[in-house]
Amino acid sequence: MSDIKVPIAKPIIGQEEIDNVVEVLKSGMIAQGPKVSEFEKEFSSWVGADYGVATNSGTAALHVALLAAGIGDGDEVITTPFTFIASGNSIVYTGAKPVFGDIDLKTYTLDPESIESLITDKTKAIMPVQLYGQSAEMDAICDIAQDHDLIVIEDAAQAHGATYNGKKVGSLADMACFSFYPTKNMTTSEGGMITTDNEEFVEEAHIFRAHGSRVKYHHDDIGYNFRMTGDANLHALLVLQRVELHGLLIDGCVKLGRVKTRY
């Protein structure tokens, strides 16, 4: 029997990517620089959101988004158990409790019909996980959230480019969080992103991302070092190049008769 290993995916890296990375290295700007800001603007625009906040991982993006929403000790966040452990862990990191709803067997995402009975006076947010490139029933979830004054945070780590009723995942809720880990739909090697239309959430996310600091060396809160890693500009540059390529791949897959999307 053959012992050949088949990878889940392989990165597409061409000479153009290599040349651009060399250019960034020669610039000497390898930390949180202009390419990261450009990346935040272009990626958020691509998903249809007003703002983007880059982080060093998808897990950090979830953690920061929850903190920016004011989630903390004693709160409850409704989510799904059918996900990577980072979804639940990010809730626990804040001192809140993950409360697990059931899944929709058509999409394997959070079933809106399971949410209502889980809501208590401690519930502060709902975190649907957009899984395998599919979206949860976001209209129903957001309607429930609005009725109970809850925040909705999409865990979109595995759904870059996915759509729901004509809108991209990442623009369907109060905030959304993406991962750029190698096994994700779009990758640089590491990194994460929060997208939102809420400027207040952006300001809070910037603070928690950078040691609780609003002004350099003045720290008003307990924050974290969740900025993109030392080669952040390289990561950002790679993702900027991937946005167009990712769109071409999605369009090509849709044209295949065997590939269908639910929405």
Residue 215: CATH number of its domain: 3.40.640.10
Which residues are known catalytic residues?
184
Ranges under pLDDT 50 in the chain = none
Residue 148 lies in a domain: yes
DSSP E strands in 13-122: the ranges are: 51-55, 76-79, 97-100
Going by C-alpha positions, the residue among 53, 22, 42, 58 that lies closest to residue 234 is 22
Residue 223 lies in a domain: yes
- Reported as a single tens digit per residue, the pLDDT across 163-203 is 999 999 999 999 999 998 767 777 666 789 999 999 999 99
Instruction: Identify the pLDDT of residue 221.
Output: 84
Instruction: Identify the pLDDT of residue 178.
Output: 96
Instruction: Identify the pLDDT of residue 222.
Output: 86
Residue 47 lies in a domain: yes
Domain count, the chain: 1
Residue 54 lies in a domain: yes
Instruction: Identify the pLDDT of residue 5.
Output: 80
Alpha helix positions (H), 130-231: 138-147, 199-209
Instruction: Find the domain containing 176 and state its range.
Output: 35-254
Residue 135 lies in a domain: yes
Terminal C-alpha separation, the chain: 41
Residue 116 lies in a domain: yes
Residue 22 lies in a domain: no
Instruction: Identify the pLDDT of residue 161.
Output: 86
Residue 27 lies in a domain: no
Instruction: Identify the pLDDT of residue 242.
Output: 62
Q: From CA 183, how far away is CA 109, in angstroms rounded?
A: 19
